[in-house]
Amino acid sequence: MQRWNHVNLAVAPERMPLVEECLDALFGWEKFVTRSTLIGWRLGPDLHDAALYLRPVAAAGAVGDAIIRLRAGDAALDAGLAELDGADADWRDHTGFQVGSVAEWEDRLAHATRLAAARPDLQIAVVDVLRPGDGRAATDYLYQAFIRVGLLGPLRNTFEMQARRA
């Protein structure tokens, strides 16, 4: 059997402490490793299943800074990134995880919304929310919330939190 078991994100080294604080505050996952070269959370009891890792990579910061700098002087790049930013969140790069119930999903969504307002330095944004019956939902049972963490950089910075209707 094959299965996905982790996601690894390269983060600008100087952003690591704030990204760690952000993910701790936002998701409350179990952090099981904290070293200067690796921070890891697991979403369940199995160390080898459903983990998120951060690694400090200077190039991640350099690329993010270059995108910002180049975007200001390149209309096509700016337009492309703006179109990508405005695209349906479910069609953009994202990492998904599922919580245990719709009630937990609603609580976590409310927490993310409050945290985004209270801590702008964490660069959290709830970019879309889909509930069954709202006309845009993919199914009649799946709840989806797309939460962007801008500290991760301009790309691959969004988490999809799901719950299934019982």
> Over 90: is that where the pLDDT of 1 sits?
no
Q: Looking at the domain assignment, is residue 47 inside a domain?
A: yes
**Range 59-66 average pLDDT:** 94
**Range 41-55 average pLDDT:** 90
Binned at pLDDT 50, 70 and 90, residue 141 comes out as very high
Q: Looking at the domain assignment, is residue 1 inside a domain?
A: no
Q: Looking at the domain assignment, is residue 93 inside a domain?
A: yes
CA distance 114 to 45: 28
The structural domain count of the chain equals 1
> Over 90: is that where the pLDDT of 48 sits?
no
The per-residue pLDDT for 49 is 83
Domain range for 116 is 6-164
Q: Looking at the domain assignment, is residue 94 inside a domain?
A: yes
Give percent of the chain with pLDDT exceeding 70: 100
**In CATH, what number is assigned to the domain containing residue 95?**
3.10.180.10
Q: Looking at the domain assignment, is residue 63 inside a domain?
A: yes
Give the distance between the most distant pair of CA atoms in the chain. 50
**Tokens coding 102:** 């719709």
Binned at pLDDT 50, 70 and 90, residue 47 comes out as confident
The per-residue pLDDT for 45 is 85
Report how far apart, in Å, the C-alpha atoms of 160 and of each of 13, 35, 62, 76, 92 are: 25, 26, 26, 28, 10
Q: What is the pLDDT of residues 68-102, one digit of tens each?
A: 999 999 999 999 999 988 899 999 999 999 999 99
Residues in the chain: 166
Question: Can you give the chain as a three-state secondary structure string?
Answer: CCCCCEEEEEECHHHHHHHHHHHHHHHCCEEEEEECCEEEEECCCCCCCCEEEEEECHHHHHHHHHHHHHHHHCHHHHHHHHHHHHCCHHHCCCEEEECCCHHHHHHHHHHHHHHHHHCHHHCEEEEEEECCCCCCCCCCCEEEEEEEEHHHCCCCCEEEEEEECC
CA distance 135 to 137: 6
- CB atoms inside a 10 Å sphere around CB 127: 15
Q: Looking at the domain assignment, is residue 11 inside a domain?
A: yes
